[in-house]
């Protein structure tokens, strides 16, 4: 494809995106879940950090973290189911479907996304993945092996790529919209999570230094 063909392709895709039925109930449910999930886990983690609510309920920080992990994982499954259902209730883009390379790129994004998510979980473990630092379960040192040596937030980036990949494979404009929403919500979440996590570890380092003096 030359420059003019690319421009025409993008123009046609944008036309299909504008035809998305944003008022369709299943689309709204999927979008609401995408927005709700990171808001929920950030609020829940802050409450735990300040009040130790889940620790008190379960009897230990580790069990509290596992409880939150189960809830977050379950919400993720619900989000994915709502996403798939939303796509099935809207039209596909013939512009995307008629280009075989779109599906190939989609499968590539999906494979890379799942690789980043799975390897990230393997490196961090349950407590590292599911906000264990808010429970006082801190890692001894920063993980620098794959996938953290190629991107800073592989879990979020991998999830975004997975949504994008599925949308391209299915030729779904609503899927592309939700993929952009996923990306935006993760960017917003990181603006809260990264400074707060840095604060937690800085406090740990200060406490260690004060004890060694």
**Binding site: what residues are annotated?**
111-113, 193-194
Rounded Cα distance, 57 and 68, in Å: 12
Q: Whose CA is closest to 110, among 170, 162, 72, 157?
A: 162
147 prior amide bond cis, ω within 30: yes
- Point out the annotated binding site for S-adenosyl-L-methionine: 111-113, 193-194
The span from the CA of 45 to the CA of 152, in Å, is: 20
- The dihedral through the CA atoms of 139, 121, 148, 197 has a sign that is negative
Phi, psi of 2 (to 5 degrees): -90, 180
């Amino acid at each position: 494809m030359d420059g003019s063909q690319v421009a025409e392709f993008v123009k046609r895709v944008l036309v299909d995106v504008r035809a998305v039925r944003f008022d369709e109930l299943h689309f709204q449910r999927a979008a609401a879940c995408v927005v709700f999930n990171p808001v929920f886990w950030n609020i829940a983690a802050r409450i735990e950090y300040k009040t130790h609510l889940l620790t008190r309920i379960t009897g230990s920080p580790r069990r509290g973290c596992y409880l939150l992990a189960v809830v977050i994982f379950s919400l993720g499954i619900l989000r994915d189911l709502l996403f798939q259902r939303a796509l099935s209730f809207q039209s596909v883009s013939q512009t995307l479907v008629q280009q075989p390379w779109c599906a190939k790129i989609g499968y590539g994004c999906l494979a890379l996304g799942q690789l980043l998510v799975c390897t990230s979980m393997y490196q961090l473990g349950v407590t590292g993945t599911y906000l264990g630092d808010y429970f006082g379960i801190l890692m001894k040192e920063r993980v620098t092996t794959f996938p953290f040596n190629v991107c800073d937030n592989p879990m979020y980036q991998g999830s975004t790529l997975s949504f994008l990949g599925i949308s391209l494979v299915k030729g779904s404009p609503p899927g592309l919209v939700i993929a952009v929403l996923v990306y935006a919500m993760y960017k917003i979440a990181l603006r809260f999570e990264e400074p707060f996590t840095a604060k937690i570890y800085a406090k740990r380092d200060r406490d260690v230094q004060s004890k060694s003096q």
